[in-house]
Amino acid sequence: MERVSRILGYTVILFMILSLYGAFRIAPTERIMGDVQRIFYFHVSIALQAFIAFFVVFIASIVYLLKKDLLWDRLASCAAEIGLLFTTLVLITGMLWARPVWNVWWTWDPRLVTTLILWFIYVAYFMVRSAVTDPGRRARFSAVIGIVGFIDVPIVRLSTRWWRSIHPLLSQEGGGLDPTMMKVMLLVMVTFTLFNLWLLWYRFNLAQMDKEVEDLKMTLEEGG
């Protein structure tokens, strides 16, 4: 298992180098937005992975409530942590893109608001986790939040879109993407999917080790 993880890790590094090369060298410079458009490839890929991570939280939370195996709680919390990391990066890179292109750091566009709300929900998820000591109870509570939070996302998206529907959106992406840009985009997306997979695996492994430490301590206490 460890070897598979290692191979996957090296693959990620290789793909990451290719992606960087693709985003900076192969992809043409966008005519209107200029170089800053090169944020796009990584920004969108990370956003997608954040969403996938939260989807994993959602599924793992449901499975936990059905099976009551703390393994699923560990998986959910690891995925939530990675999702939160990615969401933070998406928000920051998004602002750095918005500033030169739209001339503002932030705009209340539905996509931006939804990402921000998502971030709030999963920060609260971890605040609840750290405020409950009993593992079973913590798992049940966070599973409920993981499920409710994920289902809420499309509704937030819809409501924020209706809310600002009077204004023409600033963020209309315009026509289709240049084919080379599209290819680079796909490459970066694959890279980050692999990265997400590896990261989740690695992080989950750590959570399992943490559990093993707890178990060993318990054995020692019982014996001693």
The two three-digit tokens of residue 99, written as one number: 């500033």
The two three-digit tokens of residue 177, written as one number: 């993407």
Site for another protein in 95-114 (CB under 8 A): 96-97, 99-101, 103, 113
CA within 13 Å, CB half, 15: 21
Q: What separation, in Å, do the N-terminal and C-terminal C-alpha atoms of the chain show?
A: 34
Decide: is 121 part of the binding site for another protein (CB under 8 A): yes
Site for another protein in 29-48 (CB under 8 A): 32-36, 38-39, 42-43, 46
C-alpha to C-alpha distance for 100 and 37, rounded to whole angstroms: 10
Decide: is 160 part of the binding site for another protein (CB under 8 A): yes
C-alpha to C-alpha distance for 186 and 195, rounded to whole angstroms: 14
> Which CB atom, from 147 or from 189, has the smaller least distance to another protein?
147
**3-state DSSP call for residue 133?**
coil
The two three-digit tokens of residue 81, written as one number: 């942590």
Q: Which of 3, 25, 127, 176 binds another protein (CB under 8 A)?
A: 127
Decide: is 71 part of the binding site for another protein (CB under 8 A): no
Q: Do the beta carbons of residue 142 and residue 128 sit within 8 Å?
A: yes
Shortest gap between Cβ of 186 and another protein (angstroms)? Answer: 19
Part in contact with another protein (CB under 8 A); list of ranges 51-59, 69-77, 181-189, 199-207: 199-207
Please name the amino acid found at residue 134. Answer: D
Ramachandran category for residue 34: left, alpha or beta (phi over 0 → left; psi -120 to 50 → alpha): left
Shortest gap between Cβ of 21 and another protein (angstroms)? Answer: 13
> Which CB atom, from 56 or from 188, has the smaller least distance to another protein?
188
The two three-digit tokens of residue 43, written as one number: 């920004």
Decide: is 17 part of the binding site for another protein (CB under 8 A): no
**H-state helical runs in the chain:** 2-21, 39-67, 70-102, 110-130, 135-163, 179-223
Shortest gap between Cβ of 80 and another protein (angstroms)? Answer: 14
Shortest gap between Cβ of 47 and another protein (angstroms)? Answer: 12
Residue numbers at the binding site for another protein (CB under 8 A): 32-36, 38-39, 42-43, 46, 65, 85, 88-89, 92-93, 96-97, 99-101, 103, 113, 117, 120-121, 123-124, 127-128, 131-133, 137, 140-141, 143-145, 147-149, 151-152, 155-156, 158-160, 162-163, 168, 174, 202-203, 205-206, 209-210, 212-213, 216-217, 219-220, 223-224
